[in-house]
Amino acid sequence: MSGINDFVIRFANVNGTGSASANFLFAKTLFRMGIPVSPKNIFPSNIQGLPTWYEVRVCDKGYLGRREGIDLMVCVNPQSLEKDVASVKDGGYFLYDSTKPLHTEFLRSDIHYLPVPLMSLCNENFTDARQKQLFKNMVYVGALAVLLNLDFEVIAQLVGEQFKGKEKLIQPNILALNLGADYVRKHFDFPLSFHAEKRNLTHGKIMIDGNTAAALGALYGGATVVPWYPITPSTSLVDAFTEYAEQYRVDPETGRKNFAVIQAEDELAAMGMVIGAMWNGARAFTATSGPGLSLMNEFLGLAYFAEIPAVLIDVQRAGPSTGMPTRTQQSDVLLAAYASHGDTKNVLLFPSTPDECFELTATAFDLAEDLQTPVIVMSDLDLGMNDHISEPLHWQNGRTYNRGKVLSAEELEQTKGWGRYLDVDHDGVPYRTIPGTHPQKGSYFTRGSSHDEYSRYTEDADTYVRIMDRLLLKFHKAATLVPEPEFYGDDVSAEFGIIYFGTTHHAAMEALDMLSAVDLTAYAMRLKAFPFSQKVRQFTERFDKIYVIEQNRDAQMRTLLINELEIHPERLIKVLNYDGTPITADLIVHKISSDIHSSTLIRS
Amino acid sequence: MSGINDFVIRFANVNGTGSASANFLFAKTLFRMGIPVSPKNIFPSNIQGLPTWYEVRVCDKGYLGRREGIDLMVCVNPQSLEKDVASVKDGGYFLYDSTKPLHTEFLRSDIHYLPVPLMSLCNENFTDARQKQLFKNMVYVGALAVLLNLDFEVIAQLVGEQFKGKEKLIQPNILALNLGADYVRKHFDFPLSFHAEKRNLTHGKIMIDGNTAAALGALYGGATVVPWYPITPSTSLVDAFTEYAEQYRVDPETGRKNFAVIQAEDELAAMGMVIGAMWNGARAFTATSGPGLSLMNEFLGLAYFAEIPAVLIDVQRAGPSTGMPTRTQQSDVLLAAYASHGDTKNVLLFPSTPDECFELTATAFDLAEDLQTPVIVMSDLDLGMNDHISEPLHWQNGRTYNRGKVLSAEELEQTKGWGRYLDVDHDGVPYRTIPGTHPQKGSYFTRGSSHDEYSRYTEDADTYVRIMDRLLLKFHKAATLVPEPEFYGDDVSAEFGIIYFGTTHHAAMEALDMLSAVDLTAYAMRLKAFPFSQKVRQFTERFDKIYVIEQNRDAQMRTLLINELEIHPERLIKVLNYDGTPITADLIVHKISSDIHSSTLIRS
Amino acid sequence: MTYIRPAFHHPALPQNELGYTRKDYEGSISTLCAGCGHDSISAAIVEACFELNIEPHKVAKLSGIGCSSKTPAYFLNQSHGFNSVHGRMPSVATGAYLANTDLLYLGVSGDGDSASIGMGQFVHAIRRSLNITYIVMNNGCYGLTKGQDSATADYGYVAKAGHKNIYEAIDLCGLAIELGAGFVAQSFSGDKKQLIPLIKAAMSYQGFAFLNVLSPCVTFNNNSGSTKSYDYIREHNAVMSGMDFIPVKEEITADYQEDTVREIELHDGSYIRLHKLQQGWNPEDKYAVVNALHKARASHEILTGLLYINNDQMPLHQIIRLTDTPLNKLTEQALVPGAGILDQINASFA
Amino acid sequence: MTYIRPAFHHPALPQNELGYTRKDYEGSISTLCAGCGHDSISAAIVEACFELNIEPHKVAKLSGIGCSSKTPAYFLNQSHGFNSVHGRMPSVATGAYLANTDLLYLGVSGDGDSASIGMGQFVHAIRRSLNITYIVMNNGCYGLTKGQDSATADYGYVAKAGHKNIYEAIDLCGLAIELGAGFVAQSFSGDKKQLIPLIKAAMSYQGFAFLNVLSPCVTFNNNSGSTKSYDYIREHNAVMSGMDFIPVKEEITADYQEDTVREIELHDGSYIRLHKLQQGWNPEDKYAVVNALHKARASHEILTGLLYINNDQMPLHQIIRLTDTPLNKLTEQALVPGAGILDQINASFA
Ligand SMILES: Cc1ncc(C[n+]2csc(CCOP(=O)(O)OP(=O)(O)O)c2C)c(N)n1
Ligand SMILES: Cc1ncc(C[n+]2csc(CCOP(=O)(O)OP(=O)(O)O)c2C)c(N)n1
Ligand code: SF4
Ligand code: SF4
Ligand SMILES: [Mg+2]
Ligand SMILES: [Mg+2]
């Protein structure tokens, strides 16, 4: 059994019953108590009435990845009872609504039961039907507070914050909390052997979801045109952008807006609008998930070939096709990298944490304009929709945008023989102009068809090759501009390498420690971008054996590494998790150590 | 200078002026004279008034790839004069319309000029304006016939066939031919040093374009539902299908049709219709090119995941985006193989010749239904729209369709516990049912969302993984069912390997001979399908050094080979041609031999 | 395909002429929100199919993506179903229909699915006169993605989230009529009496039968500012006519006064009987219908009932002169022209 | 941006008020077929822009793919042009327009481009009241892919290839009106006198100005069975009114008899003057226009002229209350809320 500040608790609810805010309150309380915590929402692709879970890992050591094994299950959903009982760890606890007795078939001898009559407590104390249902959730939070030794002051403070402006609601919420607390105090020993203890480990941190952070990154990054089409799990990103933009980008006097959020008719249109806007000199982005990415292929190819900046945030979910819309995966990597027919390559960025969602989204606009090409921020459902403990978002006042090689009217005045696709600087990146800049100079005809350096249509073989080769040169330049990878672990004595990216971060960090505990010393590289920089190449050359951890079936990032860096595939070993749940350290350690044990050679 | 039955002649025309049939007559005459010939149409993405070329390689040795270097240029287009004069080989000939004198700037001292007053000959002999223009083309054919020693009887016969039913037109055409012939006889020495001589090398062969052959393959393969959206260079494929179907698939009494060709509103709809039709048990296909393939991504992912057979013919053109719509390339390989978001893999077939277009298209339906997955036939503009000498199309009477695991009403009657996605045979391929088969049994709910073995929606992690893993198993099975590669060259003493596919075939064959002439002995494998079979793997294991020849920039097939067969990239050397023109043997030889000369090791 | 009578039914359950009970037309348990309008439409479909004596396995039910598009799983369990991709059901249905014209095709979509991402396919299915009953469960919002305005959301309505819609709505019925749909009806999920005969009529019609059913989203669009709420629709519903559907061969009784009754015979011999007709209402007069729709829009009325019918519409398979045998039943015999013909074709290229 | 007078013009060339000559509005040499209707429309655009005194660099011209979509290369060389992808010009134009509402947007498309693959985007650009002059060069066929029927090809017309079209045509004007487009006109590429003022009026209109211009494809659809040929259109053209466009501040003279003249003032102060009005024709009466279109269709007449105008239409940027400064001119100053605000936001997540 787990110990102080080291346990996993899972809430089994029915979706649409208002459990989300109570569960969040629970997690946030731990966070405010200074304890590292990582909540995961496991919800159905449905609006109301189906099982939904909220899993909270509490971990003094700061491991924020998911962990298998539930120490305490809070079950308020009869539909999922059987599964929920079964999922509790040997020796764990099962808190349930005992208003109706538990059927004996759900009794396990190896776990502890904590019956709390949630419904009847509510029935006795509230009259309104909706309130009865809602407050059930607060009752179990109250019960848990006692069982796990949560700080009631913190809880009360959070409730106060939550109902700011609706103060009438504070009192009944506190009442509900106390109902649960009192019941536990009366009926059970408390606290449990594993419970919370105040720490100072989250000081200066924030708890935020990646989509909100990315939205803020776009806001600070200067996005003004935001066409989009709703799709889980990217919707909340645009919602957050809209909300903050309404707050900070509207002229308070006139009510006129500094931004345009447009719900497009579909994802093709959303990407078309991004391209039109960025062609015309505004910063624009859209957010989508797998199906939308598939639909944007043609437009991405246009932006690549006509060299129009574009920013796309792909909040990945489990594919293929409609797949599991409410489960996480990193399975759009290959399509995003080589989207569209013909020879194409796109710049990708891989945030791992909310603060990186902020930073890399803001950076995406600079890169897109600097390189005049699409940049895709590869987030995922786990990162985007779950709350994560994160460094605060950071913006340096005075930071300026890199708008790339855009010619002003004055510069055009002085320029002779300008051509839209002339590689003046020999870095693969030509100079562009924005419509309306100058009455006589700088106009050109943008096209997705083959064109020469002056943007004229051509079917000339050599010209075509020249442009295509320059695009490769530009891609090489991109490799020097994208964010560098981060390195972790033991640089000196490492016997093998680990490569990973995105939300695998926390599990990988924990796995590194677990591996070194069993004397398997690794050095890890967290990729932040595609194409791969020199540092990435060097890392791959250093080890004979490198484990590439990914959350997809086909080892898509490994394909990119092999293909772009010409690495012998046998040196890159797949460590995959693709069941739609966030990857765990256990899985990583298990796969790596069993590979090592089944092979002999580690370093030749 | 080239010799008997060994030369290249190029016609420079204006498009929309009716030169196509005269040029075809020229090529077909050679073919009928028993001489291997390969014409290439180099046309603009435009309807009328721009330069268009028709290039004919004549080659006794049977090399049917394109060859650089023009021996004889026939120029009837003042627009392209400069370029055309320049493109003639040193010592070559330049035939032009001398009605107006040639400007001195176009005079080269190293080539021979053959002035023929095409226009004035026509003006003198014809009255109708359109005829004057049209017959100009016949005049130069007549002139060439004498210069190159063509058989006038063959020409006359072909003219007769061409104007079957419009016999009135035969005489003036013959007159025009004679005008040219007589003029040459009067004014020049003839025949030229290089010229034609009757052979018996094309006996039993046909001269046909790949699109027509593929259309016939679809007709014989049992396609009944053919939704499509016009796009060059795939349009003529559906046109041919329609034409033959109108001939052979319409009830002569009632006029009722055995097929449905539907011009869809776009490519998304075309693929949706294919999926709907094959889900419902009919054979269906669509044909498209790059932009269409990009648009079909989402639907391809649905077909992959929901396991619905689908047949797509991708007649590739030069990408990315609109690219060069009338130029050839093999650059959709990667996208086709891994189309769509999420983890997906599609079966691809690579025809090299018209008879293979026929055979592989027919096979595609069997494979798609056998494997319940999309099958994409990867043709290209060169193969699809140019005439090629080919083995005749072959169909064995009595050949039956492989409809795959489809349960009949009787079988359903006897089946217990059927589940749409149950892997009963442990080969990854489940049993399906067609709507309307049985009143109580066999109905199921098809979905692109995650489903269990009984086709019920699920978000269960294990079930999802089970289905995804089975799809991989199915893909492994596909590798055992797809057509095997073909091998060429010296199996025994080869020092290195060559891998190629599709229209690279003729150039590769010629290159093999050229290489062995300089003692570079290679063994070549022509891929016919993806995924790769055991034989492909064995071949890749045999050589330390393998040249992979492709007509794209990013070496896409090489990526597939490395990724699927886990080959060390350094062993696969890129030989690329991606300028939109068909690859030549010279290019291949040049790239391979310079690589060999720049490296030392050939076989370790 | 011969018909096999379903066995072992509870004797007390009423059976239709084919011996099926209502249970035989039901589907899996709905996972939609309690009170969702879509569930009522599913129930109406079950009832209509039962009453129409349809063999369930002779129906193919297809949909896109959305709460509405989930419903085919909740009715007609014995029919094959196809939950395709967002907005693209019309093309999948077109392919399926061409493969086998012997089945009945029931397309189910949402306002997001058809009026936004699926607009192009919706328009072209109508243009082709696809032989389908096409039901849009129209709640003016994107239910499944949590309540965004759809393109059928009315200008000025106030969303649950609080904002006012600033765009004009697309009137799917007006659009369908403009595009030449042969059967256009509008109804309300809460009005079974009207809805069931409309579904029956639509399923009996040969050609594109469009049913726009207002179907409140209780979770995201049933608030007071909504123009797609139960209350609002009830208040603004202008029923253009009462309606009965009289199946083939059933006796036509004259219950109504001559002057207010209109009977329209469908091609299969069944009848639609309209009664309590609104003054001057003639669903075969396209101009009148279009004008009435425009006026209703201006006065915030919602016309329901059979809005327009054109009995001369030719369904797609007739337009393209398809053979009677379903294409999916054709074998090598019918499909392969044979080696001899191929030799001739080869010869034409020699 | 200050205006700089173009230098070194041939003194003899007539100049407009801004000092530009017609040459300044021309484009590259057309590669279309000799006689293609599209070239005439390009010429009309050149003339309209010249007469309207538009600064060429203040125009953005956008198109999809097709012969028609190539034309933006053949006019207004000093404007930025964007030849996007097939059928998706409306979305690219929407993005461009949102980025800078200070330019004039001219969208050019074909009937294949807009009525088939682009139908969804066409519909939604109208619904959003995109501020654009949207010209469809309508030849009833797919010119660039060699003459397939398009969705605007009339039922029963005989294609050059010989077959008869079996589908009903989509009437883009009828559709645009149904969807609420504020300015809908139809014209003929061969009728410059009508076309030029229509283009001028459209470019002066605030909102979605749709121009469906019948534009014969001489190569693939000018044969005798065609209903989009020069001859056919000339014979079946029913001009609904003569029309003048009177720019801002120009004196309004009364050349015509009172009863047959109508003047419509646009928001920028310019006027459209309709004269020789057909009996009862009122382009502000939506119902009347819709009915007239339906009737014309039935009698194979092609109505040309300004069909419908709604002067109260709000363009998209007003609907969404966009600021006056073009978004593409905003700098960090205006866009970044600053580190202080971010601290506050961080605090709200602490
Ligand atoms: C390509 C694609 N984009 C977006 C989505 C996300 N999505 C699912 S349902 C839906 C809207 C559904 O609205 P509607 O059709 O009105 O159905 P309702 O839920 O309101 O019944 C969207 C946008 C998707 N599944 N696929
Ligand atoms: C995605 C895609 N599909 C198909 C095509 C091929 N294509 C080019 S132009 C065209 C049709 C053009 O028709 P229309 O818009 O009427 O223009 P027109 O040539 O008649 O002026 C098509 C189908 C394409 N470029 N892109
Ligand atoms: S969200 Fe709305 S549309 Fe979806 S099931 Fe619930 S009530 Fe119905
Ligand atoms: S093909 Fe037709 S539309 Fe295209 S340029 Fe020629 S005449 Fe014009
Ligand atoms: Mg809806
Ligand atoms: Mg056209």
- Fold designation for B486-603: Rossmann fold (3.40.50)
Give the H or E element holding residue A166. none
What is the amino acid identity at position A459?
A: E
Q: Which of A:436-475 have CB within 8 Å of B?
A: 447-450, 459, 461-462, 464-465, 468-469, 472
Q: Is the pLDDT of residue D3 over 80?
A: no
**B281: Cα separation from own chain's centroid:** 28
Q: Is the pLDDT of residue B189 over 80?
A: yes
Ligand 3 site, residue C219, Cβ cutoff 6 A: yes
Question: Which tokens hold the place of C285?
Answer: 């007069």
Tell me the longest C-alpha to C-alpha distance in chain C. Answer: 76
Contact call for residues A510 and A583 (beta carbons, < 8 A): no
Q: How far apart (Å, rounded) are the C-alpha atoms in residues D30 and D73? A: 8
Question: Which tokens hold the place of A242?
Answer: 């809209």
Q: What is the pLDDT of residue C1?
A: 29
Ligand 2 site, residue D39, Cβ cutoff 6 A: no
Q: Is the pLDDT of residue B334 over 50?
A: yes
- Return the percentage of chain A with pLDDT > 70, whole number: 99
Q: How far apart (Å, rounded) are the C-alpha atoms in residues B581 and B382? A: 8
* Average pLDDT for B222-241: 98
Question: C-alpha angle B363/B365/B368, rounded to 5°?
Answer: 110
Contact call for residues D274 and D307 (beta carbons, < 8 A): no
pTM for the model stands at: 0.97
Q: How far apart (Å, rounded) are the C-alpha atoms in residues D110 and D92? A: 16
**CA atoms within 13 Å, Cβ hemisphere of A243:** 14
**What are the sequence ranges of the domains in chain B?**
6-187, 208-390, 409-481, 486-603
pLDDT tens readout for residues A443-494: 999 999 999 999 999 999 999 999 999 999 999 999 999 999 999 998 889 9
Residues of D in contact with A275 (CB under 8 A): 84, 92, 95
Those residues with Cβ within 8 angstroms of residue D15's Cβ, 6 or more apart along the chain or in another chain: D9, D21
Contact call for residues B218 and B285 (beta carbons, < 8 A): yes
Minimal CA separation from D45 to chain A, in Å: 17
> Which of D144, D146, D219, D229 to mutate for ligand 4's pocket (most ligand atoms within 8 Å of CB)?
D219
Backbone angles phi, psi at B55, to 5 degrees: -115, 130
> D interface mutation test: which of C114, C121, C170, C208 has the most D CBs within 10 A?
C170
**A502: Cα separation from own chain's centroid:** 7
Grade residue D276 by pLDDT with cuts at 50, 70 and 90.
confident
> Which of C109, C142, C219 to mutate for ligand 3's pocket (most ligand atoms within 8 Å of CB)?
C219
Q: What is the pLDDT of residue C5?
A: 41
Rounded mean pLDDT of chain B?
Answer: 96
D44: left (phi over 0), alpha (psi -120 to 50) or beta: alpha
Ligand 4 site, residue D36, Cβ cutoff 6 A: yes
CB-nearest to A341 from B44, B45, B294 is: B294
- Other beta carbons within 10 angstroms of residue D70's beta carbon come to 26
CATH code for A208-390? Answer: 3.40.50.970
Q: Is the pLDDT of residue B56 over 50?
A: yes
Per CATH, B6-187 and B208-390 having the same topology is answered no
Backbone angles phi, psi at D52, to 5 degrees: -80, -5
Sign of torsion, CA B361 B363 B369 B373?
negative
pLDDT tens readout for residues B141-154: 999 999 999 999 99
A81-89 contacts at long range (C-beta below 8 A, 24 or more positions apart): A81/A12, A81/A106, A82/A106, A84/A10, A84/A12, A85/A111, A87/A10, A89/A1
- Omega within 30 of 0 (cis) for the link into B392: no
Residues of B in contact with C338 (CB under 8 A): 395, 397
Q: How far is CA A448 from CA A298, A375, A434, B267, in A?
A: 10, 18, 18, 18
Domain B6-187 architecture: 3-Layer(aba) Sandwich (3.40)
- Other beta carbons within 10 angstroms of residue B371's beta carbon come to 23
For residue A45, report the distance from its CA to the centre of ligand 3, in Å: 12
What Rg, from alpha-carbon coordinates, does chain B have?
27
pLDDT tens readout for residues A110-146: 999 999 999 999 999 999 988 888 899 999 999 999 9
Question: Which tokens hold the place of A33?
Answer: 């108590």
A288, A300, A289, A276: which is closest to A224 by C-alpha?
Answer: A276
Question: Which tokens hold the place of B220?
Answer: 């014989």
Q: How far apart (Å, rounded) are the C-alpha atoms in residues B340 and B337? A: 9
Give me the residue label for tokens 């004055």: A410
- Least confident range of A454-463, D213-222, D292-301: D292-301
Domains of chain D are 22-319 (3.40.50.970)
* Average pLDDT for C210-230: 95
Residues of chain A falling short of pLDDT 70: 1-2, 600-604
Among chain B residues, CA nearest to C93 = B276
Backbone angles phi, psi at C4, to 5 degrees: -115, 125
Question: C-alpha angle A447/A448/A449, rounded to 5°?
Answer: 90
Q: What is the pLDDT of residue D248?
A: 81
Contact call for residues D284 and D264 (beta carbons, < 8 A): yes
Of the listed ligands, the closest to the CA of C139 is 5
Given an 8 Å threshold on Cβ–Cβ distance, is A342 in contact with B325?
no
Q: How far apart (Å, rounded) are the C-alpha atoms in residues C14 and C12? A: 6
Given an 8 Å threshold on Cβ–Cβ distance, is D319 in contact with C167?
yes
Q: What is the pLDDT of residue B130?
A: 87
Instruction: Kindly report the protein residue whose alpha carbon is nearest to atom 6 of ligand 3.
Output: C33
Question: Which tokens hold the place of C9?
Answer: 């039914």
For residue D112, report the distance from its CA to the centre of ligand 2, in Å: 6
B18: left (phi over 0), alpha (psi -120 to 50) or beta: left
Q: What is the pLDDT of residue B284?
A: 98
* Average pLDDT for C142-148: 96
Grade residue C2 by pLDDT with cuts at 50, 70 and 90.
very low
Residues of A in contact with D60 (CB under 8 A): 280, 435-436
Q: How far apart (Å, rounded) are the C-alpha atoms in residues A27 and A21? A: 10
- Least confident range of A3-12, A537-546, B391-400, C239-248: C239-248
Q: Is the pLDDT of residue D252 over 60?
A: no
* Average pLDDT for D20-34: 96
For residue B330, report the distance from its CA to the centre of ligand 5, in Å: 42
Backbone angles phi, psi at B170, to 5 degrees: -65, -50
Grade residue C255 by pLDDT with cuts at 50, 70 and 90.
low
Contact call for residues A355 and A394 (beta carbons, < 8 A): yes
Q: What is the pLDDT of residue D251?
A: 61
Grade residue D278 by pLDDT with cuts at 50, 70 and 90.
confident
User: Residues in chain B, how many?
Assistant: 604
Q: How far apart (Å, rounded) are the C-alpha atoms in residues D81 and D73? A: 7
Contact call for residues B507 and B66 (beta carbons, < 8 A): yes
Q: How far apart (Å, rounded) are the C-alpha atoms in residues C202 and C199? A: 5
Q: Is the pLDDT of residue B587 over 50?
A: yes
- Asked if A327 has any chain B CB less than 8 Å from its own CB, the reply is yes
* Average pLDDT for C303-310: 96
* Average pLDDT for C320-340: 97
Give the H or E element holding residue A149. none
pLDDT tens readout for residues D44-78: 999 999 999 999 999 999 999 999 999 999 999 99
Q: Is the pLDDT higher at B597 or at D347?
A: D347
Given an 8 Å threshold on Cβ–Cβ distance, is A275 in contact with D322?
no
Ligand 3 site, residue C220, Cβ cutoff 6 A: yes
**CA atoms within 13 Å, Cβ hemisphere of A29:** 29
> Which of C139, C149, C228, C229 to mutate for ligand 3's pocket (most ligand atoms within 8 Å of CB)?
C139
Q: Is the pLDDT of residue B602 over 50?
A: no
Q: Is the pLDDT of residue D249 over 70?
A: no
CB-nearest to D291 from C118, C166, C287 is: C287
Contact call for residues B508 and B485 (beta carbons, < 8 A): no
Helices (H) and strands (E) in chain A, counts: 20, 21
Q: Is the pLDDT of residue D257 over 70?
A: no
> C interface mutation test: which of A14, A265, A324 has the most C CBs within 10 A?
A265
- Other beta carbons within 10 angstroms of residue B112's beta carbon come to 15
D92, B45, B48, B324: which is closest to A451 by C-alpha?
Answer: B324
Q: What is the pLDDT of residue A235?
A: 98
DSSP H helices in B148-224? 152-162, 170-187, 210-220
Q: Is the pLDDT of residue D264 over 50?
A: yes
Q: What is the pLDDT of residue D10?
A: 62
C51-55 contacts at long range (C-beta below 8 A, 24 or more positions apart): C51/C16, C51/C196, C51/C200, C52/C200, C52/C203, C52/C204, C52/C247, C53/C16, C53/C17, C53/C18, C53/C20, C53/C247, C54/C104, C54/C203, C55/B439, C55/C3, C55/C18, C55/C20
